[in-house]
Chain A
Amino acid sequence: MKHRISALFLGTALALAAGGDAFAQDKTIKIGVLTDNSGLYSDLGGAGSTLAAQMAIEDSGMQAKGWKIDLISADHQNKPDIATTIARQWIDVEKVDVLMDVLNSGVALAVNNVVKEKNSIMINTGAATSDLTNAQCSPNTIHWVYDTYMLANSTGQALVKAGGDTWYFLTADYAFGAALERDTTAVILKSGGKVLGTVKHPLNSSDFSSFLLQAQASKAKIVGMANAGGDTTNTIKQASEFGIVAGGQKLAGLLLFITDVHSLGLKVAQGLSFTETFYWDLNDGTRAFSKRFSDRMKNKAQPSMVQAGVYSGLIHYFKTLDAMSGNPHDGAKVVAKMKELPTDDPLFGKGSIRVDGRKIHPAYLFEVKKPEESKAPWDYYKLIGTTPGDQAFRPLSESTCALVKK
Chain B
Amino acid sequence: MQALYAQLLVGLINGSFYALLSLGLAVIFGMLNIINFAHGALYMMGAFCAYFLLSLTGLGYWPALIVAPIVVGIFGMILERTMLQWLAGLDHLYGLLLTFGIALIVQGVFQNYFGSSGLPYAIPDELKGGMNLGFMFLPIYRGWVVIFSLVVCIATWYLIERTRLGAYLRAATENPTLVRAFGVNVPRMITLTYGLGVGLAALAGVLSAPINQVRPLMGADLIIVVFAVVVIGGMGSIMGSIITGFALGVIEGLTKYFYPEASNTVVFVLMVLVLLVKPTGLTGRAA
Question: Residues of A with Cβ closer than 8 Å to B?
Answer: 38-44, 46, 173, 199-202, 204-207, 209-211, 213-214, 216-217, 229-230, 233-234, 237-238, 241-243, 247, 259-260, 262-265, 267-268, 298-299, 301
Query: Interface digits, B139-157 against A, CB 8 Å rule (1 contact, 0 not)?
Result: 1011000000000000000
Question: Assuming A201-B260, A243-B130, A267-B122, is B3 touching A213 (CB within 8 A)?
Answer: yes
Could you say which of B117, B123, B260 contacts A211, with CB atoms under 8 Å apart?
A: B260
CA distance A230 to B214 in the complex (A): 10
CA distance A171 to B280 in the complex (A): 38
- In the bound complex, do residue B260 and residue A234 qualify as a contact, i.e. CB atoms below 8 Å apart? no
- Chain A residues, CB < 8 A from B3: 213-214, 217
Say whether B91 faces chain A, with CB atoms less than 8 Å apart: no
CA distance A298 to B137 in the complex (A): 41
Could you say which of A210, A213, A259 contacts B117, with CB atoms under 8 Å apart?
A: A259
- In the bound complex, do residue B137 and residue A243 qualify as a contact, i.e. CB atoms below 8 Å apart? yes
- Chain A residues, CB < 8 A from B217: 39-40, 230
Given A201-B263, A242-B137, A301-B115, 12 other A-B residues pairs in contact with their CB atoms under 8 A: A43-B117, A210-B11, A210-B253, A211-B256, A237-B120, A238-B211, A241-B141, A242-B139, A263-B118, A263-B213, A264-B120, A298-B112
CA distance A314 to B248 in the complex (A): 49
Say whether B113 faces chain A, with CB atoms less than 8 Å apart: yes
- In the bound complex, do residue B116 and residue A38 qualify as a contact, i.e. CB atoms below 8 Å apart? yes
CA distance A234 to B7 in the complex (A): 18
- In the bound complex, do residue B212 and residue A43 qualify as a contact, i.e. CB atoms below 8 Å apart? no
- In the bound complex, do residue B113 and residue A230 qualify as a contact, i.e. CB atoms below 8 Å apart? no
CA distance A217 to B213 in the complex (A): 25
Q: List 27 A-B contacts (CB under 8 A).
A: A40-B116, A40-B117, A40-B217, A42-B111, A43-B115, A46-B116, A201-B256, A202-B263, A206-B222, A209-B14, A209-B142, A210-B253, A210-B257, A210-B260, A214-B3, A230-B117, A233-B118, A234-B212, A241-B123, A242-B130, A242-B137, A243-B130, A243-B137, A260-B117, A267-B120, A268-B120, A299-B114
Count B interface residues, CB 8 Å: 41
Name the residue of chain B whose CB is nearest to the CB of A260. B117
- In the bound complex, do residue A299 and residue B212 qualify as a contact, i.e. CB atoms below 8 Å apart? no
Say whether B77 faces chain A, with CB atoms less than 8 Å apart: no
- Chain B residues, CB < 8 A from A260: 117
Say whether B271 faces chain A, with CB atoms less than 8 Å apart: no
Say whether B218 faces chain A, with CB atoms less than 8 Å apart: yes
CA distance A298 to B218 in the complex (A): 21
- In the bound complex, do residue A200 and residue B260 qualify as a contact, i.e. CB atoms below 8 Å apart? yes
Say whether B189 faces chain A, with CB atoms less than 8 Å apart: no
A1 nearest CB across to chain B (Å): 55
Name the residue of chain A whose CB is nearest to the CB of B255. A210
B279 nearest CB across to chain A (Å): 28
Name the residue of chain A whose CB is nearest to the CB of B249. A207
Interface residues of B in 33-57 (CB under 8 A from A): none
Question: Assuming A210-B253, A241-B123, A242-B130, is B116 touching A43 (CB within 8 A)?
Answer: yes
Name the residue of chain B whose CB is nearest to the CB of A199. B260
- Chain A residues, CB < 8 A from B130: 241-243
CA distance A229 to B264 in the complex (A): 18
B221 nearest CB across to chain A (Å): 5
Give 7 nearest A-B pairs by CB, closest first: A210-B256, A263-B117, A265-B120, A202-B264, A43-B117, A43-B115, A42-B116
B51 nearest CB across to chain A (Å): 12
Say whether B98 faces chain A, with CB atoms less than 8 Å apart: no
CA distance A210 to B218 in the complex (A): 19
CA distance A42 to B215 in the complex (A): 12
CA distance A101 to B118 in the complex (A): 22
Could you say which of B111, B113, B136, B213 contacts A237, with CB atoms under 8 Å apart?
A: B213
Interface residues of B in 207-251 (CB under 8 A from A): 211-213, 215, 217-218, 221-222
CA distance A207 to B263 in the complex (A): 11
- Chain B residues, CB < 8 A from A207: 14, 211-212
A279 nearest CB across to chain B (Å): 17
CA distance A268 to B120 in the complex (A): 9
